[in-house]
Structure 1
Amino acid sequence: MKLIVTSWRWLVGKTGSAREILHHGFLVSAFFIGLISALFNSLLDLTLPAYNIVLVITSAFIALMWYRSRFHGEFQRMAWLFCALVTFVMLPGNWLFNHGATGPTLLFYLMASAYVLAVLPANPKRRGIIIIGLMFMPWALLAFEHARPGLVSRYASEGIRFLDMGFSYTLAFGLLSVVIAGYARRIHEERDIANAYAARLERLSLLDSLTGLYNHRAIHKQAEAWIRRSQSACLLICDLDHFKMINDNHGHPYGDTVLEEFSRHVSQLTQEFSGEAGRYGGEEFMILIPGTLATARQFDRCLRERCEASPLLHGVILFSTGASELHPDDTLSSWVKRSDDALYHAKENGRGRLMVDKDLSVI
């Protein structure tokens, strides 16, 4: 059993899309069905010997299409070719030489329709041709048989017909199983893709588009979570000094560069301190780090050193910081207000420095 499963996975491929795997599975099934049908027809003398030879040649051609699709990346081309071959050549031929409306061809047209709707590439013109063919070719064949009944082969007896219909049903059941398995795989694949996009969109909704840090709403949620955990933590609010002047003198594109570079330093350093960071608004940034005010001082010192070590075109990035430590009875508003008050005093006392709420002393 394990060998059969391994062989089947090799035949259909393990890394392709659900459509490709269904396509390869259907081609493999059609190949074996062609050979088995030729043998069955020969044993029961159901069709002309020449038609059985055609079935064998067609099976070999299907094997070639499988090979080109499976190992040469020609899935779309081979899918279109196989759909056209089945709709306009193979099944009409089967209708004429395998007993027309009294035979199994209509059943195989339904199986082909299920396959086509699952794998046919979304080329509007080609898709339209195949779908119209599947819808109206049986009608054309029925009309042809009605007008020229003598050109369609007939069963030698009702017993032979019942046997052929039962055999064809078994083959169609196998094809239908392949198609249903392909649809199930495609549903799972599309569900996984949808979940991945949903997760990505959810993450993007939390991020600031320019800096890649948390946006205002998301960093507030992070701060509220830290408060609920009642852990030892500090909240820093950093404000870029004279940022309006930077925009006025050097242009907004350069201002965006300043924000991006500062955010890069903040992001890297915050990760090293096991914290969280977000763009609070404009040129202000909110940073959460575990620890005491001593940790906040260390963070601020490291951030200034990194800015000084990588000056931009028009100088080093300068900023002011206000910090406060989380109190047991803090709410988000009270915690943010104390850091914001400290930031205000840092800016009032010359900028380019850290102030903490504990004593509002210059560090």
Structure 2
Amino acid sequence: MLPQRSPDPYTTIEVADPLETLRVRISLWLLPLGALAALAAWGLSVTADKLSLPDKYLLLPIATGFLALEVYLWRNPQSIRWVWQVALSLIAVYEIVSLYYEAAYKLHQRDGITPAVLWFPMVFLMAFNLLNRRQALRFSLTYLGLGLLAGGIGLLASPSLNATSINTALQFTLSNIAYLSLLYMFAFLRRHYAQMHQLAHTDALTNLTNRRAMQLKLDNELERARRYNRPFALVLADIDHFKKVNDTYGHSVGDQVLREVAGRLAQHLRDSDSLARWGGEEFLILAPETDLHQAQLLARRLLEAIGESPISGVPVTLSLGVACYRQGDTVAAMLSRADEAMYRAKAGGRNQVVLEEQLEDVIIPAHTTLEP
């Protein structure tokens, strides 16, 4: 059983999901824009004396609802998906009522449909971009079904039907089914791409980030550190005597040791930290907003977490090297210092942490050969 996650003595800024942050920023613009559009449509229709019943009774409540959601989202950005479920429901009610009104009272009088109904398929696009795939599909199918039902009832209630109005209704139905089908296909492809991306950036044995993906994170963190002059640390951890584990207990036990070590390390990291399988029995931790002292505390906690109990009956220890960002640093230079510190930890007896600042204090002959 993995050890329970205990409070961390080192504190840093947590890194938010960038996609969710983007959704919040876009929503904070779209909601007042939607309110403005509803108010403009209401005002212009009143001025032109062409205010329809749906516009008369729904546009002002929709504008008020959008503004209320704007205020709520500003105070509760974590509720972004709930906010958009409510916002899309308001739009859907308006579109469905407008569709019924158009079919019942206006369609037989002219060719084509009103501008309000032209926005009907836009709700599909918004749903698939702002909700997850299953939520978007359920919402869109319900919305389309209710819309077609309202339109059908409206046609039956219409004073007269002609070939033009029937053709308009048919084209509207088929085009919206096509829109929804294509959007679902694109959403499926996006999910498939996400799965392929995860497979390409995940270690198959430990399910950790692999070296390729960690390299991208390192480059991004280095760029952030250079731009904002913020600290970050690298901790390179290597399982001691891992070759003996494989030779003595077999590769199946060795694989289990790797998985368990990965799990224990992950248990003692923050959400903002990144853990990767860097090599065969090497793990790399990227710790943003972390100075050398904080990184030392982190490394010691990881050392204790691994050594506190055997894994599959095998006593396991780590050698850890720690390096922190310096002005003008490169990823290669930081990795080299962390690797050298880890090498010194092994040379000094293993099962210990060595900081980069200790490198000048320890001299090891260049010909020294160490076991893994």
What TM-score do you get using the length of structure 1 for normalisation? 0.54
Shift of 1:227: 2.3
The answer to whether structure 1 residue 247 and structure 2 residue 246 are counterparts is yes
CA contact (8 A) 1:18 1:185 kept: yes
Shift of 1:200: 3.9
Match of 1:205 in 2: 200
Match of 2:179 in 1: 184
Please, which moves more after superposition, 237-246 or 202-211?
202-211
Shift of 1:326: 1.9
Code of the aligned partner of 1:294: H
CA contact (8 A) 1:223 1:332 kept: yes
The answer to whether structure 1 residue 284 and structure 2 residue 282 are counterparts is yes
CA contact (8 A) 2:233 2:322 kept: yes
Match of 1:315 in 2: 314
CA contact (8 A) 2:307 2:315 kept: yes
CA contact (8 A) 1:234 1:288 kept: yes
Q: 1:200 to 1:8 in 2, by over 3 A?
A: farther
Secondary structure, aligned partner of 1:210: coil
Identity %: 26
Shift of 1:206: 2.2
Match of 2:269 in 1: 270
Match of 1:46 in 2: none
RMSD: 3.4
Shift of 1:285: 0.9
Match of 1:227 in 2: 222
Secondary structure, aligned partner of 2:323: strand
For 1:328 and 1:9, the matched residues in 2 are separated by: 62
What TM-score do you get using the length of structure 2 for normalisation? 0.53
For 2:328 and 2:137, the matched residues in 1 are separated by: 55
Match of 1:160 in 2: none
For 1:309 and 1:182, the matched residues in 2 are separated by: 59
Code of the aligned partner of 2:170: L
Shift of 1:335: 1.2
More relative contact order, 1 or 2 (CA 8 Å, 6+ apart): 2
Secondary structure, aligned partner of 2:339: helix
Matched residues, number = 231
Match of 2:45 in 1: none
Work out which of the two has the higher radius of gyration on C-alpha atoms and give 1 or 2. 1
For 2:355 and 2:320, the matched residues in 1 are separated by: 8
Q: Which runs of 5+ in 1 are unaligned?
A: 41-165
Code of the aligned partner of 1:287: I
Aligned positions of 1:77-96 closer than 5 A: none
For 2:274 and 2:94, the matched residues in 1 are separated by: 52
CA contact (8 A) 1:26 1:179 kept: no
Residues 66-96 of structure 1: per-residue CA shift (max 9 Å, x gap): xxxxxxxxxxxxxxxxxxxxxxxxxxxxxxx
Code of the aligned partner of 1:173: T
Secondary structure, aligned partner of 1:359: helix
Secondary structure, aligned partner of 1:270: coil
Secondary structure, aligned partner of 1:213: coil
Shift of 1:209: 2.1
CA contact (8 A) 1:321 1:355 kept: yes
Please, which moves more after superposition, 334-343 or 205-214?
205-214
For 1:292 and 1:17, the matched residues in 2 are separated by: 47
Residues 192-244 of structure 1: per-residue CA shift (max 9 Å, x gap): 33233333433442222222222112212222222222322221110011111
Residues 144-187 of structure 1: per-residue CA shift (max 9 Å, x gap): xxxxxxxxxxxxxxxxxxxxxx8234323312211111111222
For 2:163 and 2:236, the matched residues in 1 are separated by: 75
The answer to whether structure 1 residue 173 and structure 2 residue 168 are counterparts is yes
Shift of 1:21: 7.2
Secondary structure, aligned partner of 2:277: strand
Code of the aligned partner of 1:278: A
Q: 1:310 to 1:197 in 2, by over 3 A?
A: farther
Secondary structure, aligned partner of 1:329: coil
Q: 1:8 to 1:255 in 2, by over 3 A?
A: farther
Aligned positions of 1:294-305 closer than 5 A: 294-305=293-304
CA contact (8 A) 2:236 2:320 kept: yes
For 2:175 and 2:154, the matched residues in 1 are separated by: 19
